[in-house]
Chain A
Amino acid sequence: MDLKNQILHNVVLDDNELWLAMKAGDEKAFSTLFKRYYSYLIRYGNSFSPFSEKTQDCVQDVFTDIWVYRNSLSDTVVVKAYLLSCVRKRIVRSKERDKVFNKSKSVDAIAFLFDFSVEQQLISDELTEGKVKHLNKVLNFLPARQKEALFLRYHHGLSVDEVAGVLNVNYQSASNLLHRAILYIRKEWKGSFVLLIMLLTNWI
């Protein structure tokens, strides 16, 4: 456990070190970054598209560009947020290209199709399970963009600023997205929760 924690704390520092080393042409640093983030990025990319092959291509292309154009990249980036943002942009672009070729008329941006699941292993009692399951349902009912903001903020631990960067909106919009999501969940969940309790107590 302690080891894991140490790793966690080292990540932030390491990321920046690796980034600088990579920029200086260190292939090993590049490989380490790749291995560290590849599966995260695949998981994120797959949330937009059911074609995992395309996602793999996109993520690999992102890394390809990073290496090829490493000299023109900024020294101070939050690596995780930067990678997530690059992958997202690439997927948007490839979707747009597909649209041109398929002559599809839809102009929607890409949609976050991902669903949160329930942490079953950490739940021991039925009451908690009921609450969590309900909360999970409400969460997954959120609009795609709000869900994505939550995912980036609370799963990947990005700051609101970084979330805004990935979603390509300004700080205020990102903050609103998150705020509205939380408010909505609170309202939905609390409302029905009180109802549930009342029903339960009556029944008992």
Chain B
Amino acid sequence: MKERNQYIEIEDFLADESFRLWMKSGNDHDGWEEWTLEHPSRAKLVEEARLWLLAMKVSESNVSPDEVDAALQKTWMKIEKVEQERKMEQKIIQLWNTSWFKKVAAVLVIGLLSFYTYNNYFVEKGNSYYEQIIANTDDDGLLEQINNSNKPQIITLSDGSSVLLQPKSKLSYPKIFRGNERNVYLSGEAFFEISKNPKKPFFVHANEIVTKVVGTSFRIKAYAEQSDVEVLVRTGKVEVNSKKMNQKEMVLLPNQALRFERKNQTFDKITDITKDKSINNSVQSIEQLSFEFTDIPVAQIFKTIEQAYSVEIDFPKKELKNCHLTTSLSDQPLPEKLKIICKSISENSSYTMNGNQITILSKGCN
């Protein structure tokens, strides 16, 4: 540090703690006042330095002593936590340094690795696909329905589409479809009847494949533990894509089916579904039932629906006793079917749906 007699720049004064103290608190411990008056040229510099200091105020931060105490308390807690973690680490390091542990760990690691490799490359189960997709999707607020019963369950989506979820299957879907796409996620088997909306295509993500539809009905079988994924179309047209991009998309028309072999990641189109055993075995009642009705009593139509969708329909039997309908409902989701039936019965008939319980309100047909 320079002697103050050699101070020639503002900086010299600004950097002098004793000078700053004198200026700010008037505490002239080192006789600054006397020193300044000794020389007129000094006074000028000192005055300028004073202005600088006055313009460089740093307002005190308003941390109260209580707050400082609280912060100190918090810091000690943090320290305790960190020290505990370090102790754990040290223990692990000590353990690691004992000779037997390394061997056991090595064996374990090799074992786990081979198990993992086996699972991934030889078995190709990928049963966590569903969880992965769900975890990666941006849609918060997905609803999940899991069918643990031994009967199919009907799910009605916000767009009026219906999904018949088979036992041991689950479906995740948003409460309301936003944006330009309708995305749902399936693990297991389900029969979809999609309400038509070309502006908002419907995507079913199931294991490694994505099925795109505009409006149609089809079945997807994608159990996590099974080696194949199957898609079968009943009405309309769908496009199926593999998530691994090396496959071309496949287009399916009514009564065409497709099998995706998870082991080779290849598509296998099945043109004649009647000859395919696997597909035929799992044909659900909904696909066998005809929804073409010609002068059929309403009660019987309801029975067909009950059977197809595993629902219960409660309707005023007396009032609808003599009602007969002629209608084609093949290509409609369940809510649409019910709407059409109600409208056909009479203008003021309506239905309510609560889970698998449907109630028809009507005072008889026209």
B60 at the interface (CB under 8 A from A): yes
B79 at the interface (CB under 8 A from A): yes
A63 to B76, CA, bound (A): 9
Bound CA span A155–B78, Å? 30
Determine the residue in chain B with the shortest Cβ distance to A139.
B55
Among A82-90, A92-100, A104-112, A116-124, the one that faces the other chain is A116-124
CB-CB contacts below 8 Å: B1-40 with A: 9-11, 14-15, 17, 20-21, 23-27, 29
Binds A, one of B66-74, B203-211, B290-298: B66-74
| Interface: B361 (CB within 8 A) | no
- Asked whether, in the complex, the Cβ of A64 is within 8 Å of the Cβ of B54, the reply is no
Given the known inter-chain contacts A119-B24, A157-B17, please indicate yes or no for A68 contacting B79, CB distance below 8 A. yes
Q: How many residues of B contact A (CB 8 A)?
A: 38
Asked whether A46 and B61 contact (CB < 8 A) given A38-B71, A178-B11, the answer is yes
B59 within 8 A of A: yes
B366 → chain A closest CB, angstroms: 62
A103 proximal to B (CB < 8 A): no
Chain A contact residues: helix, strand, loop or mixed: helix
- Chain A residues with CB under 8 Å of B53's CB are 119, 154
Which single member of B23, B29, B57, B72 contacts A31 (CB below 8 Å)? Answer: B72
Measured between C-beta atoms, what is the minimum distance from A38 to chain B in Å? 5
Q: How far is the CB of A136 from chain B (nearest CB, A)?
A: 4
Check B104 for interface membership: any CB of A closer than 8 A: no
Per-position contact with B for A138-180: 1 when CB-CB < 8 Å, else 0? 0100000000001101110100000000000000000000100
* Residues of chain A contacted by B14 (CB below 8 angstroms): 153-154
The answer to whether residues A63 and B51 also contact, given A1-B26, A42-B61, A68-B83 and a CB cut-off of 8 A, is: no
With contacts A60-B74, A63-B75, A131-B51 taken as known, whether A116 is within 8 angstroms of B63 at the C-beta atoms is no
Interface pair A132/B55, CB less than 8 Å apart: yes
Bits for A31-65, please: 1 = Cβ < 8 Å to B, else 0. 10011001110110010000000001001110110
- How far apart are B182's CB and chain A's nearest CB, in angstroms? 28
B92 at the binding interface (Cβ < 8 Å) = no
Pick from B29, B54, B74: contact of A5, CB under 8 Å: B29
B13's nearest neighbour on chain A, judged by CB, is: A154
Given contacts A60-B74, A64-B75, A64-B82, contact A123 B61 (CB under 8 A): no
Cβ-defined contact, A132 with B26, below 8 A: no
Query: A67–B163 Cα gap in the complex (Å)?
Result: 61
Q: Does B58 contact A (CB under 8 A)?
A: yes
Specify the chain A residue showing the minimal Cβ separation from B64: A39
Q: Mark B76-95, 1 if CB is under 8 A from A, else 0.
A: 00110011001000000000
Residue from B25, B58, B63, B68 whose CB has the most chain A CB atoms within 10 Å: B58
Interface centre among A60, A151, A157 (most CB of B within 10 A): A60
Indicate if A102 sits at the interface (CB-CB under 8 A): no
Query: Among A38, A135, A139, A153, which residue has its beta carbon within 8 angstroms of that of B72?
Result: A38
Give the chain A neighbours of B78 by CB distance below 8 A. 60-61, 64
Cα distance, A61 to B78, chains bound together (Å): 8
A128–B82 touching, CB < 8 Å: no
Q: Which of B15, B54, B72, B86 contacts A154 (CB 8 A)?
A: B15
What chain A residues lie within 8 Å of B79 (beta carbons)?
A: 64, 67-68
Q: Is residue B118 contacting chain A, with contact meaning CB distance below 8 A?
A: no
Closest Cβ–Cβ distance, residue A68 to chain B (whole Å)? 5
With A8-B21, A117-B57, A132-B54 as given contacts, are A35 and B68 in contact (CB-CB < 8 Å)?
yes
- List residues of chain B with CB within 8 A of the CB of A116: 55-58
Asked if B59 and A117 sit within 8 Å, CB to CB, the answer is yes
Contacting B21 at CB < 8 Å: which of A5, A119, A132?
A5
**For the complex, what is the distance from the CA of A43 to the CA of B68, rounded to whole Å?**
13
- B72-A34 in contact (CB<8A): yes
Complexed CA–CA distance, A40 and B63 (Å): 9
Instruction: Determine the chain A residues whose CB is within 8 A of the CB of B96 once the complex forms.
Output: none
Given A39-B61, A39-B63, A154-B15, A5–B27 Cβ distance below 8 Å?
yes
12 examples of A-B residue contacts, CB within 8 angstroms: A4-B21, A35-B69, A35-B72, A38-B68, A39-B61, A60-B71, A64-B78, A116-B55, A118-B54, A119-B53, A119-B55, A132-B51
Interface residues, chain B, CB within 8 Å of chain A? 9-11, 14-15, 17, 20-21, 23-27, 29, 51-61, 63, 65, 68-69, 71-72, 74-75, 78-79, 82-83, 86
- If A5-B27, A155-B58, A182-B11 are given as contacts, then 7 extra A-B residue pairs at C-beta distance below 8 Å, sorted by A number, are A35-B69, A39-B63, A43-B63, A67-B75, A132-B54, A139-B56, A182-B10
Binding site for B on A (CB under 8 A): 1-2, 4-5, 8, 31, 34-35, 38-40, 42-43, 46, 56, 59-61, 63-64, 67-68, 114, 116-119, 122-123, 128, 131-133, 135-136, 139, 150-151, 153-155, 157, 178, 182, 186
